[in-house]
Structures are given as structure tokens and as C-alpha cells.
A and B are shown apart, each in its own frame.
Chain A
Amino acid sequence: MQLTGAEIVIRCLQEEKVEYIFGYPGGSVLFIYDELFKQDQIRHILVRHEQAAVHAADAYSRSSNKVGVCMVTSGPGVTNAVTGIATAYMDSIPLVILTGQVPTAYIGQDAFQEADTVGITRPCVKHNFLVKDVKDLAVTIKKAFYLAKTGRPGPVLVDIPKDITIQKCEFHYPKTISMRSYNPVIKGHAGQIKKAVQLLLDAKRPMIYTGGGVILSDAADRLTRLARMLGFPVTQTLMGLGGYPATDRQHLGMLGMHGTYEANMAMQNCDVLLAIGARFDDRVIGNPAHFGQVPRKIIHVDIDPSSISKRVKVDVPIVGNVPDVLDEIIKQLEASEGKPDQKALAAWWKQIEEWRGKHCLKYKMGKDVIMPQYVVEKLYEVTGGDAFITSDVGQHQMFAAQYYKFDKPRRWINSGGLGTMGFGLPAAMGVCFANPGATVACITGEGSIQMNIQELSTCKQFRLPIKIINLNNGYLGMVRQWQQMFHGNRYSESYVDALPDFVKLAEAYGHVGMRITKPADVEPALKEAFGKHKHELVFMDFVINPEANVFPMVAAGKGLSEMILAEEL
């Protein structure tokens, strides 16, 4: 049967079992929206800004491991979506973004709402396509889903000119697809894995360092099994949190710029490092030259060869899918006669416990003024540690990562790579759709929340019971912290004057608003929000200590062991 391009788009999405499209209509996608209207298998979630559509689809994927789908119109629809696309790209999130384009004959004519979508998005997608023939449409969408979720995942964009959506052709959706230019490696090299196992068994001061790759590949159970088999300490990056239970004794907490003292010291001083699905980025290992001063053997497991030996030279590279590689490591360890050196391990743990004894996340509790750390700790208690937490970017993000102990993967949803303010609220929306009935909180600040605050309207439309934890200190806190520490207390443009009354604002959108100013009110307010107002969106405006800073801290360009601790100031 002959179908129009618009019908084909919808049929393809149905074939892919897409539940939700996050999007915003416009001229060039009208025919597709018309077909969307005529069916009820796929639900469209109308956002209030295209950036939010992409963030929502992104977090839908992060919290479910399904491919997120969004649709926007040509020109400004696309340019608004770019921040969202770049956010997903930096964190390797599988998305398919369908964009309208002006009719084929108008391309290059500076037509109304025309933009060079493929050109603009090229550096921030895994791949993109411009469909020039309706006959290519179905196979292109198939390729987009295939590329998005295989190998190192990422966003894939399909640009569809309006005339293509009305032309007709025979519809056939391919069951499978193969591309001669794209063959991601799955299994790790057996010889390399053997070398890695030997190094692990010979280690005196071993360390396991894991990142977002563990979460993305659903390898948390294997990681936990491997770590417990070996009895080695584990540290996780911001993107890796939840890959190993944070409440477990072997977990040293997050590492990096705002990592724990014990995690950073162990990372710096280990003799064998097993890096899994992590990429040694600047916020994680600080200055690579300083990191390289201590000799250690590094085993690096990653699906992307270009992540290996990019910033730090590794000794045993293993390219492959994390779960497959971990299975093989576990298998070889079980078959091996050697066991980890228990005596050396005990001495290493003794050293680690000494570092842990510094209690680097201690903070001074105020009597009259709320500390942000306290809010996150109480949130953890009130939600039983089992909520989905999204965040924006800044101090609140670090407090969330430090004080909310994630025991399960896919519970911590944040923009780690790009560091996108405005991510948190639309992300929470995406989480709600992927996990109906789940407890979802967005930890944010008064700076970040205002970058996508219009989504309070979307939340109302779809009755999303998100709890917004606004850590309001009146400053762009992380900027202020750097200005205080490195720019002689000159708070250049980091004070946000004329903030709205967030309680009234929440109410204006039809939600519940609360302002909490006293430490004693924190817990009761949270209980009320998650209890009495369980099914409503509650905007909790916590007025917090404006002086609070995030510690420990490795200043930019410094080494991991050169941390600034709270007590040193």
C-alpha cells in the first residue's frame, strides 16, 4: 500500500514501539502532526519550548534505557533544540530527533523558518540525515534508531523536508539493518582481558573507577558482582552514580573536582586502576600531568576506542560493551587459581579508612539558616533513598551528587558533560513518563530553574507530581564560589536580583508552592510535600545559606590529591 511520508513517519515510530514523542508543532511538520492526531498508539507530549522537548526525551531515555524521541519544526524549532541535543550527545544518550525542514525545492533559498539543520547539529549528534526521497524515509528512520542505541549511544537526527511528508511510496519497515561503515565492537579482546585479570590479581593497591558507561549499558549488576568478588574499592563519576550501591562499604563516593577525599586519594595512589565506561575527563582526574606522576597500571574498558588513551595513556585497553567485558572478566577470575593479595588489600583498606576518617562531607549546621546539604540529606531520608533525582547545574547539583546516596542505576539524572542549566525540570517530566507512579524530585537552584520554568505549564497539563527542591541562595552559587576563591571576592554578575516569588509563581501555574526558611521546617515540609501532596507538583523554595560552598574541591588545573577541604578555610 502506498503511504504518505507523514504516515510512514508515524508507522515507523509505531514499529519501534515508541510510547511518547516530546515535541512542538510548526509549519514544516504539520502533515506529521496530522497523522499523529489520527492514531492513539503514540502519545505526544506538548512542551513549552523545544529545548525542554529534547531534555524530556533525554531523561525519558536515561531513566528507562529506551530510545527517547522528539519532534520539532524547522528553523527556530531546531535551533532551540540544539542545547538539548548537545546535552544528550555529551552524555551519550540514545535519542531520535525528527525535525521538519522547508520543502526540498526551497532548501538554500533562505526560506521562512529555514535553517541548515544538518550543518548546525553535525558537531553535536552521533549522526544525522537529510531525507531527500520519500523512498529513503523508512530505512533512514530505522538507521536512526539503530545508530542511536548501539555502540556508544547518542542522539541521531532525521531532517524531513515538508514535501517528503506528502509524497507517497510503498511502505516497508526493515526488520534489521546493517551498515558497512558501522560495526560497533561488542566482545572485548580475549587476550587483553586475560592481561587485565592478571593485573587485577597482582594488584596491591587496586581501585575500580566507573562512569556513565556502566549505567548506559545496564551493567550495574555485573559491576557489583565483580567488585564484591575482588573486594576492591569502587569510586564513581558524576555520570556513574548508582552503578554501584552508594551505601555499600566498598564504595568511596564520587571522585573528581567535588569528589570525596577518600575517593580522590585512592584514585591518585592506587597501583592498578580498572576504569569502566569512564573517560578520565578534566572534572574527574584534574590535571593529567599530576595524575601521571604516580606510576600505576591502567585497564580501560570502553565501547568507544577514541575514549581510550585520549587524556591518559592506558596499559591495557579493552574495547567492548561493558557487560560483555565484565562477564568475561568475572568468568576468567572464577576460573583462575590466583586470588587477590588479601594482605596487601587489608593494608590498602586500612589506608583508605584513614582517609575516610577525615569525614570530608561534614558541614556546619546553622541554627537559623538552612544549609543546602541538610536539605538533600533530609530529602534522602524522606524519600527512603528511592526517588528519581534530576538536577540542574551548579552547587545544588554537586550537593545532590554528594549527599543523596544512589543505590540503584538510572535514578540520578543530570547533565554531566555539557553542564546544561535548565535541564532539571524538563528532565523530571521525562522521568515521570518513563516511570509512572515513581517519586521524582528535581534538585535545582533559583538560577537554573528559571532557564526552563515555562515547563511548569506542561507539568500542569499532564499532571506530573514532580517535587521541585529549589535551593535558593540568591546567587549563581557555583560562579560565586569560584569568584570567592579565585577572583578576590569580586562577585561579578553572580547575584540574581529581583527574583520572582516562587510560591506565587507555582500557584499561578496551578501548583502547590512552599517557602521554607528555617532548618526545623525542612523535614516537616518535605514530609508534607511527599505525603499530603504526593500527587501534586510542589515547588519547594528553600531559602538557604548564601555562603555555603561545595567541598572538597580540586581547583581547575590542580591534581586530585590537592583538594581543598572545608575545614582548611
Chain B
Amino acid sequence: MRHIISILIENEAGALSRVSGLFSARGYNIESLTVAPTEDASLSRMTIVSVGSDDIIEQITKQLNKLIDVVKVVDLSEAAHIERELMLVKVRATGKDREEMKRIADIFRGRIIDVTESSYVIELTGNTTKLDAFLDAIDRSLILETVRTGVCGIGRGDRILKV
């Protein structure tokens, strides 16, 4: 099962490597990992997408909690939540493809944020499956470059991850 694990961690040098080192040392899988400071600069928030059985995910959350710098750990996927990922795609946009690319970007509510005679950069936000669907919808041979931020997520309603 795919899980989205959110972590509040002391914003100290090496905090990221403590987490990533834990995953590699114990053979846990990381699909994506994002990290940035929160509104409280002394804390970073990390979002990790991992795939594993319930037992493995339980171990992952326990092991994360054991790290001294980790303040809180929540498995967002346990309840209602929102997830988003940002993707920038640079595509070839010439001839008939130029108009078609614009149309598909519009359908996916993407925005073209850079234009040259032969290319677009399209900005797209959504959950992982939406971004995958966009890449499937366009002609693969037209993709020059893609970059994705990895998933970040937040609980719905009253679920709040805060110190």
C-alpha cells in the first residue's frame, strides 16, 4: 500500500540524511521525499511517500519517531487528506503540435509559463495520478524535460500536524 508520511523535524544540519539514511539502512522504499522549513523556522516539514505492508509502515513510523530530531510523525493516508505535486514539463511546440499542446495543457489546467519559438514550459499541479495522466496524454516524443517536486500533503479539516 502507498502511504504518505508527514514528519516535523528539527531544522538542523543533517536532519535530512538522518531520515534518508534510516530508509536506506533498513531497506524501506522511498517513492518521493520533499522537505522545507515551516512557518516556524526551527522546524522542517518532510513528506515521504513510501510503499509497504502495514507491518513495514508501522515500523517506518516507529523508527522515524525514534530519531532524536523528529518531533512528530503522521501517516496522512490513514484519514482524509489532500496531496499535491508540482511538475514542470518542457515540451517541443512547433507546427501543429504547438496548438495541440496548448489545448491539452488547458484541459489539465496546466499553465504555460515559458514560451520560445519551438518550446513551452508547462506548469502542472495535482496529485500524482493526474500528473502521470498528463504525461500519458501528450505525445512522449515531444517531451524535452520533466521535473517533479514529489508529493506534499496535508490532512483535511481538523487534522493538524503542529508542535
Residues of A within 8 A of B (CB): 118-119, 122-123, 126-127, 130, 132, 147, 179-182, 304-306, 309-310
Contact = CB atoms under 8 A, between A and B. Distances in A.
Nearest to A125: B68
Contacts of A119: 14, 17
20 contacts: A118-B14, A119-B17, A122-B21, A123-B21, A123-B25, A127-B68, A130-B14, A132-B13, A147-B68, A179-B68, A181-B9, A181-B68, A181-B69, A181-B71, A304-B66, A306-B62, A306-B63, A306-B65, A306-B66, A309-B58
Contacts of B163: 180
Contacts of A122: 14, 17-18, 21
Contacts of B63: 306
Nearest to A305: B62
Contacts, number: 38
Main secondary structure of the interface of B (DSSP, over half): helix
B10 A181 contact: yes
Interface in B15-50: 17-18, 21, 25
Contacts of A180: 71, 163
Query: Which among A123, A126, A147 has the highest number of chain B CB atoms within 10 Å?
Result: A123
Contacts of A310: 59
A118 B18 CA distance: 10
B18 A181 contact: no
Interface of B: 9-10, 13-14, 17-18, 21, 25, 55, 58-59, 62-63, 65-66, 68-71, 163
Given A119-B14, A122-B18, 18 more contacts: A119-B17, A127-B68, A127-B69, A130-B14, A147-B68, A179-B68, A180-B163, A181-B9, A181-B10, A181-B70, A182-B68, A304-B66, A305-B65, A305-B66, A306-B59, A306-B66, A309-B55, A309-B58
A130 B14 CA distance: 10
- What's the dominant secondary structure at chain A's contact region? mixed
B71 to A, nearest CB: 4
A75 to B, nearest CB: 19
Nearest to A304: B66
Contacts of B65: 305-306
Contacts of B62: 305-306
Contacts of B69: 127, 181
Given A119-B17, A180-B163, A181-B10, A126 B68 contact: yes
A17 B80 CA distance: 52
Contacts of A182: 68
A304 B63 CA distance: 10
A123 B17 CA distance: 10
Contacts of B68: 126-127, 147, 179, 181-182
A123 to B, nearest CB: 5
Contacts of A305: 62, 65-66
Nearest to B24: A123
Interface centre among A118, A130, A147, A182 (most CB of B within 10 A): A182
Nearest to B42: A180
Nearest to A156: B68
Nearest to B65: A305
B41 to A, nearest CB: 15
A306 B73 CA distance: 14
Nearest to B22: A123
The residue in B55, B63, B68 that gathers the most chain A C-beta atoms within 10 A of its C-beta is B68
A90 to B, nearest CB: 13
Nearest to B13: A130
A182 B25 CA distance: 22
A449 to B, nearest CB: 31
A-B interface, 3 closest residue pairs, ranked by CB to CB distance from nearest:
A306-B62, A127-B68, A181-B71
B4 to A, nearest CB: 20
Contacts of B58: 309
A130 B58 CA distance: 31
Contacts of A181: 9-10, 68-71
A181 B14 CA distance: 16
Contacts of B17: 119, 122
A182 B55 CA distance: 24
A131 B55 CA distance: 37
A127 B15 CA distance: 11
Contacts of B13: 130, 132
A130 B68 CA distance: 14
A132 B69 CA distance: 17
A310 B60 CA distance: 10
Contacts of B25: 123
B104 to A, nearest CB: 45
A130 B70 CA distance: 17
A520 B25 CA distance: 51
A181 B13 CA distance: 16
A392 to B, nearest CB: 26
A306 B59 CA distance: 6
A305 B163 CA distance: 21
Nearest to A132: B13
A180 B10 CA distance: 9
Nearest to A122: B21
Contacts of A132: 13
Nearest to A310: B59
Contacts of B14: 118-119, 122, 130
Contacts of B55: 309
Contacts of A123: 21, 25
A126 B68 CA distance: 8
A69 B123 CA distance: 55
A443 to B, nearest CB: 32
B92 to A, nearest CB: 41
